[in-house]
């Protein structure tokens, strides 16, 4: 399973990259605003910085909701850097734009997906990635992982090439369960990745090894 980090924070991205396990980055307008990145020039410059920090795909989201606007914005984003994947919302114009970009060989990530039907539409429009938001489904007391499982089943039935990018991952258990289910990618905050390192038996075992080494070696 590929690990993407879901942030526009450059130091978090650099830390995940330094760990050697990062495959890409996802961003959204809220994450860009959280970093204080505003105005189209600054936003484009920030995407470029992210692309220079990592080797994998970087999802950059359009903010237009009309078809022409999405095409214009998506083309500008795709031209910015070869690692950019155009992120489009799951609305009718987003599906149309996804088909347009996939016909042109421009990679896409269809976002804000909350049902199998939406995931089916994204795949049929040729999306590179589909992003079911499992954390947000959990937030409203539904089962986000169940949706990922159902999308996996439907995509496997027809050998769709669209990759399932489990998004809105909030914690390490989400990451592990996504891997068990067969999600192609997961995207979450830095803590969902670094949290995988933690086990008290690793810490106590290492402390004992070092203590015993010191006893014998001074
Ligand atoms: C996906 O690409 C989104 O950026 C994201 O995962 C949303 O996560 P949230 O529900 O934690 O905001």
What secondary structure does DSSP assign to the chain, as a single string? -EEEEE---HHHHHHHHHHT---EEE--HHHHHHTT--SHHHHHHHHHHHHHH-SSEEEEE----SHHHHHHHHHHHHHH-TTEEEEEESSHHHHHHHHHHHHTT--EEEEEE-SHHHHHHHHHTT-SEEEEBHHHHHHTTS-HHHHHHHHHHHHHHHT--PEEEEBS--SHHHHHHHHHHT-SEEEE-HHHHHGGG--HHHHHHHHHHHHHHHHHH-
The reply to whether ligand 1 has any atom less than 6 angstroms from the CB of 162 is no
pLDDT of residue 179: 98
pLDDT at 11: 98
Structure confidence at residue 192 as a pLDDT band (50, 70, 90): very high
60: β partners: 86
Query: Quick one: pLDDT at residue 212?
Result: 96
Confidence grade of residue 5 (pLDDT, cut at 50, 70, 90): very high
Pocket test for ligand 1, best of 3, 167, 183, 191 (most atoms within 8 A of CB): 167
Residue 160: pLDDT band with limits 50, 70, 90? very high
Q: Across residues 152-164, what is the average pLDDT?
A: 98
- Identify the pLDDT of residue 77: 97
- Whether 134 has a pLDDT exceeding 90, the answer reads yes
Q: What is the pLDDT of residue 131?
A: 98
**In which band, very low, low, confident or very high, does the pLDDT at 39 lie, cut at 50, 70 and 90?**
very high
CATH number, domain of 106, equals: 3.20.20.70
Three-state SS for 165? strand
From ligand 1's centre to the CA of 153, what distance in Å?
Answer: 23
Tell me which residue range forms the domain holding 51. Answer: 2-217
CA–centroid distance, 215 to ligand 1, in Å, is 49
What are 63-107's pLDDT values in tens digits? 999 999 999 999 999 999 999 999 999 999 999 999 999 999 999
| 218 band by pLDDT with thresholds 50, 70 and 90 | confident
Q: Under DSSP, is residue 60 helix (H, G, I), strand (E, B) or coil?
A: strand
How many domains are there within the chain?
1
Check if 96 has its Cβ closer than 6 Å to any atom of ligand 1. no
Nearest of 130, 57, 51 to residue 98 by alpha carbon: 130
Question: Could you report the per-residue pLDDT of 99-132, keeping only the tens digit for each?
Answer: 999 999 999 999 999 999 999 999 999 999 999 9
- Which residue's CA is minimally distant from atom 7 of ligand 1? 168
Mutational test site, ligand 1, from 4, 6, 127, max ligand atoms within 8 Å of CB: 6
For the residues of 14-50, what is the DSSP string, one character each? HHHHHHT---EEE--HHHHHHTT--SHHHHHHHHHHH
Residue 146, phi then psi, degrees to nearest 5? -60, -40
- Looking at the CA of residue 28, tell me the nearest atom of ligand 1: 4
Q: What is the pTM of this model?
A: 0.96
Q: Is the CB of 135 under 6 A from ligand 1?
A: yes
């Amino acid at each position: 399973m590929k690990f993407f980090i879901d942030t526009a924070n450059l130091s978090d991205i650099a830390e995940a990259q330094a760990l050697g396990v990062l495959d890409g980055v996802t961003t959204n307008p809220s994450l860009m605003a959280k970093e204080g990145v505003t105005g189209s020039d600054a936003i484009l410059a920030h995407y470029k910085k992210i692309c220079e920090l990592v080797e994998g795909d970087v999802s950059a989201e359009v903010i237009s909701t009309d078809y022409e606007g999405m095409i214009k914005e998506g083309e500008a984003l795709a031209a910015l850097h070869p690692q950019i994947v155009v992120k489009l919302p799951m609305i009718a114009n987003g599906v149309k734009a996804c088909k347009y970009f996939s016909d042109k060989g421009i990679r896409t990530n269809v976002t804000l997906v909350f049902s199998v039907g939406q995931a089916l539409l994204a795949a049929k429009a040729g999306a590179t990635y589909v992003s079911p938001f499992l954390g947000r489904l959990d937030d409203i007391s539904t089962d986000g992982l169940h949706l990922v499982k159902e999308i996996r089943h439907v995509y496997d039935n027809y050998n769709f090439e669209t990759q399932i990018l489990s998004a809105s991952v909030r914690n390490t258990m989400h990451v592990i369960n996504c891997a068990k289910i067969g999600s192609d990618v997961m995207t979450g905050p830095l803590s969902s990745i670094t949290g995988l390192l933690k086990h008290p038996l690793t810490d106590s075992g290492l402390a004992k090894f070092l203590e015993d080494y010191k006893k014998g070696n001074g």
